Amino acid sequence: MKLLALIPSFYGRTGDAVNERKLILALSRKIEKSYVVTFVSFKQVFTKRRRELKEVKNLPKNIIIIPLPLFHVNPLLVYFCMIIISCFTSIIGLVLCWLRKIDLIYIRNSFLSIGFLSFKPLAKRTVVKIPAIIEDELSNGIITRFCITRLALLMDRLVLAKAVRVAIPSRSLYSELVKRRFLKHKHVPLEIPPGVDLRLIEKIKSQLDSKSRRDTLNIGFIGSLKWWQGVDILAQAATLLKRKVSNLKLVIIGDGELKPLIERICKTSNIPYEITGFLPHEEALRRLSMLDVMVLSRRRTTTTESNIPIKVIEAWALGIPVIVTKHRVFLDSQIGNYEDVIYCEPEPNSVANAIYLLITNDKLRKKLESNGPQLARQFDYERIAEKLLKVCTVV
C-alpha cells in the first residue's frame, strides 16, 4: 500500500505535530511508501526555530517529505491558502492515482481536503481527520472569527458528505460536530486519538534515575502555555499548598503566552519554579519522567472537552500520576477517578486539594503509577496505524 498524507504540521514540537509525525512513522512500518505534504513556516526556515526541522531526522527511506512554505500572518489567510494548496495538490494526486502510486489519502484538517473530495477517484481513497471545532479555538476579531466559522461549516459538511471515511479523536467530538454541522457521515467515524510511542517510552524508562534522590516534590505540566491550558490555575494552586508542602517545586516543560503571568505568581508567592522553554520531544519526555505529579487543569472548551491530550497518554505510559479536569471525553472513555486519574475542577482550591490528596496517599499514588502504563497500551501508535489501514482496506 502507498500513502499520500496532507498534514499542516509534520515538523515542530506541538502536540499536533508530534502526534501526526508519530502516526506517519507507524504507518510507514506497515506500508510500501508514504508521500507527506506538510507546511513549514518561514520562522522555521530563517530563525532559531529551524532546529525543529533538524530534530526530525533519520526518517525511514520510504517516507518522502514535500515541505511547502506558508506565512502564518492571519488565520483566515492561512485557511484560504490551505484551500488553494488542496486544489493544486489534488491534481498531483490524480496523476499519482492514475499511475497507481497511491492507494490511501490521509488528510488532517477539512480545509486541506476540498480538492481531493472534488474528484471521485480521489474521494473514494480519502480519509479526513477533523481534529477540532476550529472556530472554538480562535481568539481573533469578530470579522475574522465569523468568516472562519462560515468556512469551517462548509468544509466540515463537505467532508461529512463526500469523504470515504471521517476520522475524529473521540466520539465526544463527533457528537458535537454533528450537532454543529447538521450532518452525519454515512459510516461510523474512525476514532484516531493521540497516541504514544511505547518504544521511545521504554528507552526513557531505562534511563531514569530514582526519584528518591531528589529533595523536591516536582509538580508540573508539559505543553504550550495557552490560556485554555489552565497553567496559571496550577500556579495559583501551588501558592495554596506552600505552607503544607515545603519542598514543592513547580516545573513547567514548555513555553508560551502565559509565561510572564506564571512567573509573576511564583515570584510573588516565593514558590520555587522552572520553565524550561520548548524542548525536543524526546528531551521533553525525559523531563516529564522526572515529575512526581502531572497536572492538567484545563479550562472547559469544545476542544478540551472532546480530546484526550497526548501529554496525558505519555504521562500514563511513564507511570506519572495525572490530575486532570473532569472533561466529558474522559468520562465517555470510562477513565476512572482514583483509578486512572484524579479529577479536579479548573480552579485553584480544587487543584490544590487533588495534589495534596495524591502526595499524602501512598496507596493511591502507587495505584495510578501502576494503572497508567496498562491504560497507555490502548493508545500505541502501532495499534492506531493498524486500525486505520484495516478499516480503509475494507471500504
Higher pLDDT, 48 or 239: 239
**How would residue 210 be classed by pLDDT, with cut points 50, 70 and 90?**
low
Cα distances from 371 to residues 45, 308, 311, 334, 355, in angstroms, run: 42, 17, 16, 13, 18
- 2-7 and 63-70 strand pairing: unpaired
Residue 327, judged by CB atoms within 10 A of its CB (0-12, 13-18, 19+), counts as buried
**How would residue 43 be classed by pLDDT, with cut points 50, 70 and 90?**
confident
* Residue 324 predicted with pLDDT over 80: yes
The structure's pTM equals 0.90
Reported in sequence order, the residue ranges of 223-352 that DSSP labels E, i.e. its strands, are 248-253, 273-275, 293-296, 322-325, 342-344
Report the pLDDT value the prediction gives residue 212, as an integer from 0 to 100.
47
Cell of 246: 515545603
**How would residue 395 be classed by pLDDT, with cut points 50, 70 and 90?**
low
State the Cα torsion 235-241-246-248 to the nearest 10°.
-40
Domains in the chain (CATH in brackets) are: 2-195+380-394 (3.40.50.2000), 198-379 (3.40.50.2000)
Least confident of 85-94, 221-230, 384-393: 384-393
Please give the single-letter amino acid code of residue 3: L
Write down the mean pLDDT value for the chain. Answer: 91
Give the dihedral sign, CA 88/90/92/98: negative
Report the pLDDT value the prediction gives residue 74, as an integer from 0 to 100.
80
**How would residue 41 be classed by pLDDT, with cut points 50, 70 and 90?**
confident
Report the pLDDT value the prediction gives residue 302, as an integer from 0 to 100.
87
* pLDDT tens, position by position, 307-320: 999 999 999 999 99
* pLDDT tens, position by position, 251-280: 999 999 999 999 999 999 999 999 999 898
Contact 153, 178 (CB under 8 A): no
Least confident of 91-100, 209-218, 232-241, 312-321: 209-218
Contact 271, 242 (CB under 8 A): yes
* pLDDT tens, position by position, 48-99: 666 777 777 788 999 999 998 887 778 888 899 999 999 999 999 999 888 8
* Residue 364 predicted with pLDDT over 90: yes
Report the pLDDT value the prediction gives residue 209, as an integer from 0 to 100.
62
Nearest to 155 by CA among 245, 86, 104, 239: 86
Residues contacting residue 155 through CB under 8 Å, at least 6 positions apart: 83, 110, 111, 113, 114
Report the pLDDT value the prediction gives residue 393, as an integer from 0 to 100.
62
* pLDDT tens, position by position, 131-182: 999 888 776 678 888 999 999 999 999 999 999 899 999 999 999 999 999 9
Give the dihedral sign, CA 201/207/212/213: negative
